[in-house]
Structure 1
Amino acid sequence: MTLTDRSVEVSVDAEPELVPVIRNVAADLAIRMDLQLDTIADLRLAVDEACGLLLKQAATPTTLRCRFTLSEHTITARAEVACEDGATPPQEGFSWHVLNALVREVRSQTIRESDGAPVAVIELAVSDA
């Protein structure tokens, strides 16, 4: 069985002490895909930074969700959290620059769910290819 072309979703309460759960799932998936050690380390740090940025935007109480999509030599992570109206994930500052340095691509946005509730999203991808 191959892990590629699959997805895994993790949901935790939007609390800083639970971010390591998401970070460790990311690393485990990358290990199982046999990605390079540097790529695994970059993914762990990037997921940690993305989740940290989103927690600053989170409405309370809420859930932090992260979906990992696995394809050949690439993992895409989409982290999201419900936020207050007008909140947007930052696209500048030290954490954002660290995030950009760690991954192949990254983007952030605020979207509306079907009920109109705002959701802050950061999507990133790492790759060995």
Structure 2
Amino acid sequence: MALAAWADGAQSMVARRTGNLSAALSYAERGAVAAPRGLRAQLHAWALLPTLAEHGRDREANAALEVAPTELEADPVGEAPGRFGFDEAELALHQAEAHLVLGRTDQARARRGLGGRVQTQHAGVGCRHSRHPREEEPGQ
């Protein structure tokens, strides 16, 4: 069950990256519902939250923003190895990215900390985020 939920989250990330937001949302919702304790925070943070943010669904994104840290804190194993590498730092990264997509620059800076760059590599999918929020997108 955990692997299937994680795979749904990964498929959501790929669908989102290729611009198929409806499929991304479907995978994210299915993964979040199926995720056992210990994986729920991760599915809410890197599958459901960014997809809702890209859809512009503020209310649902806010709910996912609240669920992810609550689930991470409630997990009796916490950030122990074997949880697919998800921890507070990655949670903060995904929260900051969602805030940026939703146009909440100040909240994004608060979540990721002032200064430095946000940079991560996700489980073989190849999504790399390294743009500082103050840097402009190409063509702006």
TM-score by length of 2: 0.28
Compare the two structures and name the one with the higher strand fraction. Answer: 1
Q: What TM-score do you get using the length of structure 1 for normalisation?
A: 0.30
As a proportion of its length, which structure holds more helix? Answer: 2
Which structure has the higher relative contact order (CA within 8 Å, separation 6+)?
1
